[in-house]
Each structure stands twice: as structure tokens, then as C-alpha cells.
């Protein structure tokens, strides 16, 4: 088992499709995320030199270290080929055994593999043997309440040489419904010696504090709670430094949004990708969505910047 590199904080940005682009990952790191995981990349696609998968890999050159690439698949040969391709670009390789998306589950990958702890162990073991960077795993409890395999899976991952396990305490069938059962994170932590990262239903600083206290997990991963809200990482960083944190003021909310656009331009992201991320961030700033019709008509970066300038709070005039 190769230990994780030294990290700036114990809170991570989760991998999320169509959300954790390279610019948003860099932004969240600026605001205090110790790690930011890539959107998951298909090991099959990468091993076959799929242009989109290769593009995502090439973007990692720009991202501040440490960089963490998440892969998914089930074909051993393709998995090993893909991890060797990823290794020069990443300080950590994460294996997705937790995504509940039904199309991937039907392909017998991601969380479908939770039914086969021995298969997971062989995958992790082979990848650990073929790379010189830490290999981590992201898992769920099992396929459904009648097939909870989490304890067998964590033992398999640890024995295979995984450096960390992220536990999302829902089943595959739950997807994101209901509440995440954090008691399982505590059970996992008590039964392995490697670091455990808790994931699920962390949307505020208070949630982060409670998860750490209730589960004793080493790290906390934030997914949906971080969509459009990189300032959450800043608040947690402030809390860990001072024991308190500053509430987010309206005038501060557009600052990370404009910073995201700056980074996205540096990384040469396409405008539709930038507009999508800006839309997600605006939804957290303006829940009433009165800006939607104006944003819909925006067709280029200059128009987008002008729209954001018009939305910025105006300074008070002296009386």
C-alpha cells in the first residue's frame, strides 16, 4: 500500500459527470479542497484511444497537483492499460465501484461489481501491482438492502493494497434517494486500517463537522453539496483553522464564478461547457432563477461576462 501524498485539507470534491471539469476542480482546490476527482473516465475508452477520453487526460496537464483520476470498467486488460496511460498525469488513481447509473450497472461495471468482492480484489490487486502511485476505491453498501456486501468489499480492497476507500452509504438501488446511513462509515472505519473517506449528504459546514464526529472518518468527500458552491470548501478550511467560519454574503457569491471563467479561459474550455458550469453556479446564487431567460440568450463568452456584470450588486451612492 502506497500512502497518499500530503494533502492541504481533509475535504474533497467528488467526481461528478458534466460537473467536475478541469477548471472547476482547480477552482475548488483554490478554495480549500484537498483533492478534486476527475469526472469518471472509461478504462475501455482510454485503452482504445477514444478522442474524448484522451482529451480529458490531456487536460490534467493544467490542473494543480495533486491530481486524482477516476477510472471505471471491468475488463482487466483494459483497466491495466488505462492506468498505465493515466499514471504520468496523476498522483492518485481512483477506481469507481460505486456509481449507481443504471446503464453502467447493466454493463456489469461500477457498483454492479459490489456483488463480486473477489473480482474487485483482483482488479485492485492487478492495478496496484502495475503502477507506482496510490490506488484508491469508491464504493457503496451493496446492490440493495438484501445484498449488503460493503464489509467484504472493504476487506478485499484493503488486502489488495488500496490506499484509501471512499464509502457512500447508500445502495445501488437507492441511487441518491433517502438519507445516507453514516453509521456504515463508522463500521467501515472500525474494520480497516487504511484511511476512510466519508461521502453522502454533506452540504454545510455543520454536516462536515457532524460526519467527522459521528464516523471518525479520515476525510470527507462532498458531491452534490459542492455543485455551484466552491465557497463551501473555503468555509470548511476557515473552520478548521479558527474553529468558526464566515457566512457567505451576497456580494461574495459572484467572485468564484468570475474566477471560474478566468480559469476556464486559461484551460481553453469550450463555451458550452463554461456556460453549463456558470448556470449551475448561478442556480445556487439566485434560487428564484429570474436570470434564466437572459442566460438562455447568451451565445458567447463576451455576452456572458456582460450578463454577470449587470447582475453584480451596485455600490451604494453617498446620500
List the catalytic residues: 99
Sheet containing 35-36: give its strands across: 35-36, 11-13, 219-222, 196-199, 164-168, 135-140, 92-97, 68-72, 41-42
The answer to whether 199 touches 224, Cβ cutoff 8 Å, is no
Angle made by CA atoms 89, 95, 101, in degrees to the nearest 5: 120
Angle between helices 183-191 and 150-160 (to 10 degrees): 40
SS3 for 2?
coil
Positive or negative, the CA dihedral 110, 284, 60, 50 is positive
Q: Which three cell numbers stand for residue 47?
A: 485503452
DSSP assignment string, 143-199 = SSTT-B-HHHHHHHHHHHT-SEEEEE-S-TTTTT-S---THHHHHHHHH-SS-EEEE
Amino acid at each position: 500500500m502506497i500512502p497518499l501524498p500530503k494533502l492541504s485539507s481533509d475535504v474533497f470534491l467528488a467526481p461528478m459527470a458534466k460537473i467536475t471539469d478541469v477548471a472547476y476542480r482547480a477552482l475548488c482546490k483554490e478554495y480549500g479542497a484537498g483533492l478534486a476527482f476527475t469526472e469518471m473516465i472509461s478504462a475501455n475508452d482510454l485503452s482504445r484511444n477514444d478522442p474524448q477520453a484522451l482529451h480529458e487526460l490531456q487536460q490534467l496537464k493544467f490542473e494543480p497537483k495533486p491530481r486524482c483520476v477516476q477510472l471505471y470498467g471491468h475488463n482487466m486488460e483494459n483497466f491495466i492499460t488505462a492506468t498505465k496511460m493515466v499514471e504520468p498525469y496523476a498522483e492518485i488513481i481512483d477506481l469507481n465501484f460505486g456509481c449507481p447509473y443504471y446503464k453502467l450497472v447493466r454493463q456489469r461495471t461500477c457498483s454492479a461489481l459490489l456483488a463480486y468482492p473477489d473480482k474487485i480484489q483482483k482488479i485492485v490487486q492487478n492495478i496496484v501491482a502495475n503502477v507506482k502511485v496510490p490506488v484508491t476505491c469508491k464504493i457503496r453498501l451493496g446492490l440493495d438492502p438484501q445484498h449488503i456486501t460493503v464489509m467484504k468489499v472493504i476487506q478485499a480492497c484493503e488486502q489488495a493494497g488500496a490506499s484509501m476507500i471512499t464509502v457512500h452509504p447508500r445502495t445501488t438501488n437507492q441511487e441518491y434517494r433517502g438519507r445516507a446511513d453514516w453509521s456504515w462509515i463508522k463500521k467501515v472505519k472500525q474494520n480497516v486500517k487504511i484511511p476512510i473517506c466519508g461521502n453522502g449528504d454533506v452540504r454545510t459546514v455543520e454536516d462536515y463537522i457532524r460526519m467527522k464526529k459521528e464516523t471518525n472518518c479520515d476525510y470527507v468527500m462532498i458531491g452534490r453539496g459542492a455543485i455551484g458552491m466552491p465557497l463551501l470548501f473555503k468555509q470548511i478550511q476557515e473552520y478548521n483553522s479558527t474553529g468558526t467560519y464566515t457566512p457567505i454574503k451576497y456580494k461574495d457569491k459572484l467572485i468564484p464564478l468570475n474566477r471560474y471563467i478566468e480559469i476556464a479561459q486559461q484551460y481553453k474550455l469550450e463555451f458550452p461547457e463554461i456556460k453549463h458550469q456558470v448556470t449551475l453556479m448561478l442556480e445556487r446564487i439566485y434560487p428564484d432563477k429570474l436570470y434564466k431567460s437572459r442566460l438562455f440568450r447568451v451565445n458567447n463568452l463576451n455576452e456572458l461576462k456582460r450578463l454577470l456584470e449587470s447582475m453584480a450588486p451596485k455600490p451604494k451612492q453617498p446620500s
